[in-house]
Structure 1
Amino acid sequence: MKITSKTTIENVILMLKGVDFWDQLETVYSPEKIPELTYGQRIDLSTINTRSELLFIPQKVLLGLNEKEVMSKPFISVYNFGLSVYRELERMTVRDENTFKYKPTPEEVRAGFYGIDHGVFGVVDRIAQRLSISHEAVFDLPERRVYAMMKIDYDSGMYQRRLNKIISEKK
């Protein structure tokens, strides 16, 4: 059996059980437009760790489809959508890493800089306080808006750090 645009995920799973063919799929991949993500969707999508999850999680989170509905869709369209979502998540991760790079001073390291990591809750709590909304409402905000607010806070913190350094050097 040949994989075509009409081949379902169920058919692919049955015919290729145990065969590693994922590297060959790069030839049929064509990026798909994905909807703008909310912060909550980005968090939910970040749980993609396996190839199976690449097929099912984006369909569930962004399109509201259950596993049975996904299984009846053409494999290539599900694969293209999942990989498009995965690549967008990778792009966001690189963007975040480049934006929020920070090299702590030796004093900050001694004070426990690397022990401070509040994760998703820290972001949600900060945004909820800033906008005077519930924690749950933060998950419905566009991901771009949450990123922009985090960047503003980061830039303000870096400014304050530079200013404090200049003031302490004057003394």
Structure 2
Amino acid sequence: MNRPLYILQPVNPAFIAFSIFIAFLLNLLPWGHWVAVPDFVALVLVFWGIRQPRQVGIGVAFFMGLLMDVHDATLLGENALAYTLLSFFAIMIHRRVMWFPVPTQALHVLPLLLLTQAVQLMVRYAVSGQFPGWLYFSESFVSVLLWPLVTWMLLAPQRRSVDRDLTRPI
């Protein structure tokens, strides 16, 4: 427990909406046939579900899932179901995860992201009968590797001081 503790400012709801929009735009990029491109919307949804469960809940996750369903041209409701479950479980463990340092938080987030991909895989398998291979789950592991960077970026606006004072320790 030798890490510095910051008193964070309240998060701006416009920043939450902006970060989810940027994550959606990152998912829209044509990544080609890269295998391990993370699902940025799922990553941001689980982050805000843990950090701000009252502002980013299951309804936002469902709406973003529908948008991703339309973009991916998948079965309508596939991503919506997966993101809804992701948001529910993130809200369920949010108090526990906040006590841990960021690398340990990433280990708590990994099962949530794997569950999201497993739900998407089960729906696709039920519809098409094709299994994409075990490399399909590498996306969750890449997302977990990005968790410290995402945490640092999304908490940066909350760390700034309202009135800058160089003599204040916090």
Classify the TM-score, shorter chain: under 0.3
TM-score (norm 2): 0.27
What TM-score comes out, normalization by structure 1 length?
A: 0.27
The higher radius of gyration belongs to 1
